[in-house]
Every structure is written in C-alpha cells, then in structure tokens.
Structure 1
Amino acid sequence: MNYRHGFHAGNHADVLKHVIVLMLLEALKAKPSPFFVLDTHAGRGRYLLGGEQSQRTGEAATGILRLAAHKGLPAPLKAYLQAVKAGNPVDALLAYPGSPMLVAQALREGDRLAACELQAEEAQALKALFTGDAKVAVHARDGYGAIKALLPPRVGQDRFARGLVLIDPPYEAQQDEYPLVRDAVAECLQRWPGAMVAVWYPIKQRRTLQPFYRRVASLPAKGVLAAELLVHPDDSPLRLNGSGMLLFNPPWQLDQALAPVLKALDAALGEPGASHLLTWLRPPV
C-alpha cells in the first residue's frame, strides 16, 4: 500500500507529519545562521483537494478540514493551519501543500531546500512548482541515494552546519522499507551529525513495529523521540490506523511542546478508541 498518493493529501497522517516539520523549522529559525533541508521523498509538492480521487476517499474531510473547524488549538496547530491556508483563497481550502511547499514557505533568504522525487510525473510537477525559486533545488532522483550525494550539504561556497532531513518513503512494501529507513538514518547521522532527522511511518498494528523501534534506538543520535497519533483503535491490520514521526537529534524541549499538540490532534481527529503517544526511544544526552 502506497501512503503518499495525492488522493490521501490532508489526511490525519499529513497533519501530524507537517505540524511536526513546521515545529522543527521554527526551532532552526530561532538561530540566525542559515540551514539546509533535504526532503528525500518529496512528491509533487501540492495537491488539489477537489480532485475525483481525493473526494472519493474523503480523507481530507477527516483530517485538515476537520482540524480547521476547531477552535482553541495550541499555537503550533494554528501556525500549521495558517501555512496550509497561505496558498489558498480566503476562507477556502482548495489545495493542500506537501512538505516541500511548506518548507519552502518557511525558508529565509540564506536557507536552502533540496527536494527529491523519483517518479517522473511527480518530479516534473515539483520542478514546475518551484520554477524561479533560487532557494529550492529539485532533484529527479532516488531519495535514499541523494543522502550520499547531497550530505553534508554545500551550495556553492556555503556549507551548512544545521538543518533537517525529512524521510517520508511510500512504504509500498512496508516491512521491506524499515531496513532501508534505518540505514538511511544511519547514513545521515554519519555524514551530517549536527542535523535533525525526521522519519514518517505508518501504523496499522503498533506491536509489529517493536523490532524497528529497537533498531533505530541504537543509532548514534543525541536522542530519539517518537510522536504517534492513532485515530482508530490499534486492532486492524487492513487500514492505516495512525502514523508516527521518529525524531533524531530533536531540538531542546520539543517533547514538552509536542505534548499539547498530540492531545489536541487526538481530540480533534480521533474516532472512538483513538490514542496518542510521545516517548523517548533513546533519551537525550
């Protein structure tokens, strides 16, 4: 099952992932020195919510559209909604921005984004989206291979000590993807030790992820934090019950900032039996 098709845009998994990405970017922007972002599986960057496939699944209605109707949300969720609305008409959500678009909107003058997409049609759409934007480089290539090619990052004479690597593969063969993800994170940490690494992953039945948790917890990061949202009970292997983000080298006190966000997402998007989890797989040092 591929979890990255456009007709899933704006679902609960996108909400969780993109809220956290924006929180990581805010942490990077707290310091004046420029940063670099590598998005390994970027997709096309922007998705129409009114498309036939999107309307058929109705996932945005139980994700971004449901969240947008809630009041009294924590500040990171308000900032996320503002970022999503930025590319839409006033009082309407016609399109949903993927991670490269959200990142690009947050970049300052000296910051840079490298967005990778292997599928030709998606890569072409991504290139068209960022035509003329000097802060964004689009690479039509495999994202895992890009880690070796582009890290540590250097653009012209500029080297970047700080930044973020977002790894969001399609999980077409879910169990086969986990060793690739683990190796990719290890490569990132070896080549660019000062970077934050964020990995999105789907959750059907959480107990099946235990071996993956153990393997990534052993990687040489200064801390490994797992943030998860299950909008359905964790008892069905046939659907996407929830998703999580693994955060390597997360910024200081991110766990405290994330706690009310996960609680609010659980309340806003969860069905009966929903849950959320925030736990250190490897405590910070």
Structure 2
Amino acid sequence: MFAYRHAFHAGNHADVLKHLVLVQLLQHLGQKDKGFRVIDTHAGAGAYSLRTEAANKKLEWLDGIGRLWERTDLPPGVAAYLDQVEVFNGPGVLKNVPGSPSLIRQMLRPQDELHAFEMHPTDLRALEKLMAGTKGVKVHLSDGFAGLNALLPPPTRRGLVLIDPPYEMKTDYGRVLSTVREALAKFPDAVIAVWIPQVQLLDAQQLPQRLRNAVKGVAKKGWLDASLSVVAPQDGGFGLLGSHMFVANPPHTLHTLLATELAWLAEVLGQHPGAKGQLSAGS
C-alpha cells in the first residue's frame, strides 16, 4: 500500500506539467481578494532534495526541471513556475524542489487555506514538520479521496482541489472518477485539477475521456485537458511516457497560455522525435 515514494520522481517531466498548471490556477484564484481553500488529496512529503540517493537513482529530474533551470528563453507560464521553484530552492545551483503543498503554501495569502492529505507515515512526518506553525495550513493523516467532500464547499465558495494519486493500485482510476463526480455534485464551481499518468494501461488511457464525460454539463466553466508526451513507448509496456492535467472549471486564460507553451515544453523536454503537447477543451 505504501510502496510509492515521490522522492524518486520529483522534478521529472510530469512534475513540470503538474506544477506549471498548479501555479497558473493559484495565480488566477489570487486575483480576487476573497479567500480560497486548496485541498491536496495526495500531498506527499512536500519537499525533495535532489542530492539524495532516491533522486539520483534514476535522475528523472535531469530530463524535467533540469532542462529548464538555466534557460533564459522561458515562456511566461514556465517562467512563473520556475520563479516559485527558485523561491523554494534559492538562486544558483538547483538542489531542492518543492512538492505541491510547498508551492501552494508559498502562494497562499493570509485569507487563504490549505488542507493537505497524506497517509504514508514517513512522508506524513516530513510534511507535518515542514508545515508546522503555518497559519491556514492543516495536514491530515487520512485518505484524501475519502476526506475531500467534508471540506466542500468552502465558506467563501472559492476552492481548488488537486488530485494526484500515485495510481499504484488500479482502483485509483475509478476512485478519481467517482471523487470528481461527488465533488462537483457538492460544489459545481470547484476548480478541480487531476494529474493522470500516460502509461500503457487501458485504465490510464481511458480516464481522460471518462472525466470529460463525467463533468460535461456539471462543471459550470467546462473542462480542459492538457497532455505532454515526451518518452517513446518501450518494449514490454513499461515506463511513464508523459502525463495529463485535466482541469474542471479552468480559468479562461489557461487555455490561451497552454496552447503555445505545451509545444515549447514538448520540444525542450522531448526524449524522442515524436514528443508532443496536446490541448483539448469543452463545456
């Protein structure tokens, strides 16, 4: 149950797409004075050193954020994400990368709040230590799928839900779908961002379309599906080829930004000639 550790994958190409979109959503919510609530259903440890044995076992970050860190031609969305990483890491050599809860905490205002769920005991302790004393942040030792609905809708009726399970169990795919349906039934205005791996597994390949069908006519501002495919399929069907970020009720500015930046990311992060970024949207 607790086999997955994000420390082995922090800063990889999937993190780049996920955190780029997350930063854009947080920036959009922060444009209004009224506070908002962020719920991170699978928060992880919150911070990752790139000097650890885990990070250096496969060196996935070198083909993710490592390809972006020292570039001077970053487009606006990628630059905004890298700015937040630099706030966390400091200027100079890249040594540490933030997990989603750290990025969220950096962008919260006094009137905003974060609820972070984590069940892995080691990651939970690290996250609690990292977030200790931060006003407006609460760490939950609980299943984020099960705990989400009790926090919806927030009193301000403004909220962002990040759902990014490890998908190490096939049941995660079905739970993502049911959780999104239930969340929108309680809070149709919720901005819900779902990370989906691109792997050679039918459940993973079907989930984006199943989510589109589930939110159609329910999410008041429609949906957006951004995908980044950077690794060629391998013999045996193993490996992470890329990822999706599916967003229910996306801000209108997100489509315009990703329409140009996904192609740039595919070129910079691509590991084979067929690398590509794709964007779909609907109501």
Q: TM-score, normalised by structure 1?
A: 0.91
Q: Which amino acid aligns with 2:98?
A: P
Q: Which amino acid aligns with 2:44?
A: G
What is the match of residue 242 of structure 1? 242
Residues 2 and 171, structure 1, Cα contact 8 Å, conserved in 2: no
Report the alpha carbon displacement of residue 209 of structure 1 after superposing the two structures with TM.
Answer: 4.3
Matched, 1:19 2:15: no
Cα deviation 1:1-54 (Å, max 9, x = unaligned): 976521111000001000000001111112121111000000010011100121
Equivalent pairs, count: 276
Report the alpha carbon displacement of residue 234 of structure 1 after superposing the two structures with TM.
Answer: 4.5
Cα deviation 1:91-126 (Å, max 9, x = unaligned): 021111000000000011101110110111111111
Report the alpha carbon displacement of residue 56 of structure 1 after superposing the two structures with TM.
Answer: 1.6
Structure 1 residues 139 and 225, CA, compared in 2 at 3 Å: closer, same or farther?
A: same
Match of 1:70, SS?
coil
Matched, 1:38 2:4: no
- Aligned runs of 1:117-132 on 2, under 5 Å? 117-132=118-133
Bigger shift: residues 240-249 or 218-227: 218-227
Cα deviation 1:69-91 (Å, max 9, x = unaligned): 32211111111111111122430
Residues 232 and 241, structure 2, Cα contact 8 Å, conserved in 1: yes
Matched, 1:6 2:2: no
Structure 1 residues 70 and 267, CA, compared in 2 at 3 Å: closer, same or farther?
A: farther
* % identity of equivalent residues: 43
Bigger shift: residues 198-207 or 247-256: 198-207
Distance across 2 between alignment mates of 1:251 and 1:31: 13
Matched, 1:233 2:232: yes
Residues 162 and 195, structure 1, Cα contact 8 Å, conserved in 2: yes
Distance across 2 between alignment mates of 1:89 and 1:167: 28
What is the match of residue 87 of structure 2? 86
What is the match of residue 165 of structure 2? 169
- Aligned runs of 1:111-122 on 2, under 5 Å? 111-122=112-123
What is the match of residue 219 of structure 2? 221
Matched, 1:262 2:262: yes
What is the match of residue 190 of structure 2? 195
What is the match of residue 156 of structure 1? none
Bigger shift: residues 204-213 or 238-247: 204-213
Q: Which amino acid aligns with 2:243?
A: S
Distance across 1 between alignment mates of 2:228 and 2:5: 17
Distance across 2 between alignment mates of 1:85 and 1:169: 26
Q: Which amino acid aligns with 2:238?
A: L
List, as ranges, runs of 4+ consecutive aligned residues in structure 1 with deviation greater than 4 Å. 1-4, 206-210
Report the alpha carbon displacement of residue 244 of structure 1 after superposing the two structures with TM.
Answer: 0.7
Residues 208 and 225, structure 2, Cα contact 8 Å, conserved in 1: no
Report the alpha carbon displacement of residue 206 of structure 1 after superposing the two structures with TM.
Answer: 8.2
In structure 2, list runs of 5 or more residues that go unmatched. none
Q: TM-score, normalised by structure 2?
A: 0.92
Cα deviation 1:140-160 (Å, max 9, x = unaligned): 11100111222223xxxxx12
Report the alpha carbon displacement of residue 195 of structure 1 after superposing the two structures with TM.
Answer: 1.0
Residues 206 and 234, structure 1, Cα contact 8 Å, conserved in 2: no
Match of 1:253, SS?
helix
Residues 7 and 57, structure 1, Cα contact 8 Å, conserved in 2: yes
Match of 2:252, SS?
coil
Residues 205 and 235, structure 1, Cα contact 8 Å, conserved in 2: no
Report the alpha carbon displacement of residue 250 of structure 1 after superposing the two structures with TM.
Answer: 0.7
Question: How well do the aligned residues superpose, as a CA RMSD in angstroms?
Answer: 1.8
Residues 117 and 143, structure 2, Cα contact 8 Å, conserved in 1: yes
- Aligned runs of 1:131-146 on 2, under 5 Å? 131-146=132-147
